[in-house]
């Protein structure tokens, strides 16, 4: 007989395979003898979203570099805004298991629905003053951006959006809904929050490791920090950013 380890979550069941076969010529297994629990260190990899994609070639580059999600901005006032036609061309190069995220700022229900009918969006990101009821009306996973300013109770600001998949924390700038390139005091959000956190706001390869070590977010979101100009991504900067995220994850694992 031989023994076989079969993973079951964080456990391993030990099976004994008998040196005989049943009538269908399959190897026979006894019931599990014992299980061995794996209790070593684990770290969930920080997910990475590259936002403000405007060109298919930039989407392909971000995906090859290891991005988990791509952000498409449907806010006409943004220098990274895309049309539905642009978005469809970008979507054509996106493989399975990479999420397309559509960003809106106080858009009408009709505008959002029109985009969703034309583009294979996997998640909606709301960056304006949308209510929780409005955000949840489109039958897709969604997250709400919370712009963090000095003195804000971040946990209380997140609480009304408890039905979201997560909250995106960005820096506050008066009159600008996002994409400011500015950071905020990450320690304001260190307390336990009711939802998974996507951290944005002024991130780049030079500061993302510190941000991850401070806040331990579920994901990080970068746009200007990986660009050569607004809406045009830089391949080297994308690779450096993703490498910095993975290094921070590895350091967390080693510290456990």
Whether residue 68 contacts residue 48, with contact meaning beta carbons closer than 8 Å, is answered with yes
Nearest partner of 207 among 224, 188, 193, judged by Cα: 224
Residues 21 and 91 in one domain: no
State yes or no: pLDDT of 29 exceeds 70.
Answer: no
Whether residue 201 contacts residue 183, with contact meaning beta carbons closer than 8 Å, is answered with yes
Per mean pLDDT, which range of 37-51, 56-70, 233-247 is the poorest? 37-51
Residues 109 and 21 in one domain: no
Do the domain assignments include residue 97? yes
SS (H, E, C) 159-195: HHHCCCCEEEEEECECCECCCCCCCCCHHHHCCCCCC
* Cα 16 to Cα 143: distance, rounded to the nearest angstrom: 47
Q: What is the mean pLDDT of residues 47-56?
A: 98
Give the Cα-Cα-Cα angle 110, 144, 56 (nearest 5 degrees): 70
How many CB atoms sit inside 10 A of residue 179's CB? 23
CATH number for 229? 3.20.20.70
Expressed as residue numbers, the domain containing 173 is 47-251
Confidence of residue 50 (pLDDT cuts 50, 70, 90): very high
* Cα 59 to Cα 167: distance, rounded to the nearest angstrom: 23
Do the domain assignments include residue 184? yes
Give per-residue pLDDT as tens, 142-188. 999 999 988 888 888 999 999 999 999 998 776 666 666 778 888 88
Residues 142 and 231 in one domain: yes
Phi, psi of 167 (to 5 degrees): -120, 140
**Which pLDDT value is given to residue 174?**
65
State yes or no: pLDDT of 9 exceeds 90.
Answer: no
Q: Is 51 a catalytic residue?
A: yes
Percent of the chain predicted with pLDDT > 90? 66
Q: Which of the residues 58, 135, 158, 170 is marked catalytic?
A: 170
- Domains of the chain: total: 2
Do the domain assignments include residue 137? yes
Do the domain assignments include residue 136? yes
Q: Is 68 a catalytic residue?
A: no
Question: pTM here?
Answer: 0.81
Q: Which of the residues 30, 51, 58, 163 is marked catalytic?
A: 51
Do the domain assignments include residue 186? yes
């Amino acid at each position: 007989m031989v023994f076989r380890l079969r993973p079951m979550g964080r456990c391993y069941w030990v099976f004994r395979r008998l040196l005989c076969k049943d009538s269908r010529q399959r190897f026979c297994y006894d019931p599990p003898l014992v299980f061995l629990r794996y209790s070593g260190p684990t770290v969930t990899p920080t997910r990475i979203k590259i936002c403000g994609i405007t060109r298919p070639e930039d989407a392909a580059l971000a995906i090859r570099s290891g991005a988990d999600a791509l952000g498409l901005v449907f806010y006409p006032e943004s220098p990274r805004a895309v049309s539905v036609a642009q978005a469809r061309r970008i979507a054509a190069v996106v493989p399975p298991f990479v999420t397309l995220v559509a960003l809106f700022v106080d858009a009408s229900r009709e505008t959002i629905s029109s985009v969703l009918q034309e583009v294979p969006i996997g998640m909606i990101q709301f960056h304006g003053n949308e209510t929780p009821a409005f955000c949840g009306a489109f039958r897709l996973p969604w997250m709400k951006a919370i712009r963090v300013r000095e003195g804000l109770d971040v946990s209380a600001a997140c609480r009304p959006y408890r039905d979201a998949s997560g909250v995106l924390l960005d820096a506050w700038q008066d009159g600008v809904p996002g994409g400011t390139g500015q950071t905020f005091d990450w320690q304001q959000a260190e307390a336990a929050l009711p939802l998974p956190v996507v951290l944005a706001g002024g991130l780049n390869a030079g500061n993302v490791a510190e941000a991850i070590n401070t806040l331990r977010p579920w994901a990080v979101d970068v746009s200007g920090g990986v660009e050569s100009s607004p809406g045009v991504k830089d391949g080297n900067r994308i690779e450096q950013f993703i490498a910095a995220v993975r290094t921070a994850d590895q350091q967390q694992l080693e510290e456990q």
